[in-house]
Amino acid sequence: MNLQKKKILCISGSTKSRSTSLSFLQYIARSFEGLLEVEIYNNIGILPHFNPELDNENLPEKVKDFRRKIEIADAILFCSPEYVFSLPGSLKNAIEWTVSTTLFSSKPVAIIITAAVGEKAFESLSLIMTTIEAIVPETSKLLIKGAKGKISSNGIINDEKTQKQIDKTVKSLIKNIDNDDKRGTKFRQ
Ligand SMILES: Cc1cc2nc3c(=O)[nH]c(=O)nc-3n(C[C@H](O)[C@H](O)[C@H](O)COP(=O)(O)O)c2cc1C
């Protein structure tokens, strides 16, 4: 049995330095610190606008760094708001920088949308991940409506139902990684 902690890259879909999405990701990092090595990427705002003309040997350093983080992670967990009935443009932009690669092919992924309503962002991110061949079982997807109301003023998530839903979603992601290990996908290239 592989006892090494699994490496999860948690990508916040918000560009704010202190956001609802970040509070949820920090909750996940704290809750699973004994089991997982969690890195929170709260930096999508620094990535340049996607430009296919730079998607070659001229790839910007910040994009190289972002891609490398995805590459070495055992799994990716997105936590994102919904903006104007869609994914935040900055998150879509970050993902566009990966589309010419196979970084997401067979990668275990979890999707958490934390918004007022969030259904369109949820559908959109699910479709994008399926399109770029990530493995995202239904049990690894969570839509948290009224997300701001689930966080206390000091950024703590103390709504018990939400805590249980997050717990189930992250455990589903861990199971997905274990299945990935069995499939041996990491050694396929
Ligand atoms: C410009 C803007 C547009 C928004 N549009 C939507 C929307 O279409 N649907 C929704 O459910 N929430 C919408 N919201 C609310 C955010 O999704 C919600 O407040 C979220 O929790 C903010 O997350 P953040 O703090 O991680 O950025 C919008 C917020 C902003 C700032």
Q: How far apart are the CA of 47 and the centre of ligand 1, in A? A: 21
Q: Quick one: pLDDT at residue 105?
A: 97
Cα–Cα distance for residue pair 66/22, rounded to 1 Å? 18
- Each domain of the chain, given as residue ranges in start order, spans 6-187
Q: Which atom of ligand 1 is nearest to the CA of 116?
A: 11
Show the CA angle centred on residue 131, arms to residues 145 and 93, nearest 5°: 70
Q: Which atom of ligand 1 is nearest to the CA of 86?
A: 8
Q: Quick one: pLDDT at residue 180?
A: 84
Q: Quick one: pLDDT at residue 185?
A: 61
Candidates 3.30.1490.20, 3.40.50.880, 3.40.109.10, 3.40.50.360; correct CATH number of 6-187?
3.40.50.360
Which band of pLDDT confidence, cut at 50, 70 and 90, is reported for residue 1? low
pLDDT digits (tens, 9 = 90+) for 17-60: 999 999 999 999 999 999 999 999 999 999 999 999 999 999 99
State the pTM of this model.
Answer: 0.95
Q: How far apart are the CA of 150 and the centre of ligand 1, in A? A: 14
